[in-house]
């Protein structure tokens, strides 16, 4: 069994002070409510092995409830081995007041999914970043030049905010569609783009790119979030929903049947992780190794 597998299986949820395998190494950790299903340890530890960094870095999973977040961050400040954190649901907003610095993209998106810890004479500085938007930008960049393209974003929650930010950075023309119209309108005003309700969704036949960012698709019983009749062969459809127990969503399946170019949620997971690896280690990430690890 490789070190990567050992570390992945050996996830601990409490203090790590007495864990011999991590002694002396930089610790990176995913902090999320239920870390049992996180693919991040496998993805990052594989990358450390492939780049010869495994003697200096280890990545662990820490299931952390909302009540535990403050204590975990205090521990991160005081344990000089901590180098980086990946922040998952439900902490992406609540972590923000606990940090020392937040970068502009994370401020605009309103969420932090990455924390880098630097120490100057032992004094820790916790800096917050958002790499989710890069997880949306990179797979799109590989398939389409977004400048001037019509992009329909379905959903108005956290993932949609990252998507809106990403495609506006690339010069796209954006309309947000959401179940609760006022949530879409709020985002539209904030980012300066159009907003509509799901009743207007038939308009997406004229879009170049569709990004689906609602919660629908996590469960097998969920209805299709976008009627298949609206999906065209010339569409690029990015379904950000990803569940490792059910990796191909019904929407992705339906869009492939329609002949659309489909980007699945694991691509977002991969590319946000690629950027995290660079922020944590200062090295370029071994993308294909990380892709293999999450597959």
Residues assigned a catalytic role: 92
For residue 5, CA distances in Å to 1, 49, 60 come to: 6, 11, 11
Residue choice 183, 253, 256, 258 for contact with ligand NAP (CB under 6 A): 183
Residue whose entry in the numeric block shows the structure tokens 């339906």: 254
| For ligand NAP, the closer CB: 207 or 251 | 251
CA atoms within 13 A on the CB side of 102: 18
Residue choice 156, 195, 209, 254 for contact with ligand NAP (CB under 6 A): 156
Does residue number 188 form part of the binding site for ligand NAP (CB under 6 A)? no
Least Å distance, CB 18 to ligand NAP, is: 32
Does residue number 218 form part of the binding site for ligand NAP (CB under 6 A)? yes
Using Cβ positions, the residue closest to ligand NAP within the complex turns out to be 157
Residue choice 87, 112, 269, 293 for contact with ligand NAP (CB under 6 A): 269
Dmax (CA) for the chain in angstroms is 61
CB 144 within 8 Å of CB 196: no
Does residue number 241 form part of the binding site for ligand NAP (CB under 6 A)? yes
Coil, helix or strand at residue 235: coil
As a whole number of Å, the end-to-end CA separation of the chain is: 18
For residue 17, CA distances in Å to 21, 44, 79, 89 come to: 11, 21, 9, 25
Does residue number 84 form part of the binding site for ligand NAP (CB under 6 A)? no
Does residue number 168 form part of the binding site for ligand NAP (CB under 6 A)? no
**Residues of the shown chain interacting with ligand NAP in the complex, contacts defined by CB under 6 A:** 132, 135, 155-160, 178-180, 183, 213-216, 218, 240-242, 265, 268-269, 272
């Amino acid at each position: 069994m490789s070190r990567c597998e050992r570390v992945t299986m050996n996830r601990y949820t409490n203090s790590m002070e007495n864990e011999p395998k991590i002694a002396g190494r930089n610790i990176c950790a995913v902090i999320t409510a239920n870390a049992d299903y996180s693919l991040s340890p496998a993805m990052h530890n594989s990358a450390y092995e492939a780049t010869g960094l495994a003697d200096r870095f280890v990545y662990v999973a820490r299931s952390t409830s909302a009540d535990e977040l403050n204590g975990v961050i205090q521990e991160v400040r005081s344990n000089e081995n901590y180098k980086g954190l990946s922040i998952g649901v439900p902490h992406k907003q609540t972590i923000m007041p606990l940090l020392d610095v937040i970068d502009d993209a994370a401020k605009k998106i309103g969420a932090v999914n990455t924390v880098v810890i630097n120490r100057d004479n032992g004094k820790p500085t916790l800096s917050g970043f958002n790499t989710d938007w890069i997880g949306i930008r990179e797979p799109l960049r590989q398939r389409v030049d977004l400048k001037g393209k019509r992009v329909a974003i379905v959903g108005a929650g956290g993932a949609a905010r990252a998507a809106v930010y990403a495609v506006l950075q690339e010069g796209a023309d954006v309309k947000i569609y959401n179940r609760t119209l006022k949530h879409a309108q709020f985002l539209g005003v904030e980012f300066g783009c159009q907003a509509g309700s799901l009743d207007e969704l038939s308009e997406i036949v004229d879009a170049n790119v569709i990004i689906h960012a609602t919660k629908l698709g996590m469960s097998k019983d969920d209805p299709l979030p976008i009627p298949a009749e609206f999906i065209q062969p010339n569409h690029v459809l990015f379904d950000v929903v990803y569940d490792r127990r059910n990796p191909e969503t019904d929407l992705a399946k339906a869009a492939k049947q329609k002949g659309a170019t489909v980007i699945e949620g694991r691509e977002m997971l991969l590319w946000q992780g690629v950027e995290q690896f660079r922020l944590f280690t200062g090295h370029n990430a071994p993308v294909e190794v990380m892709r293999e690890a999450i597959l």
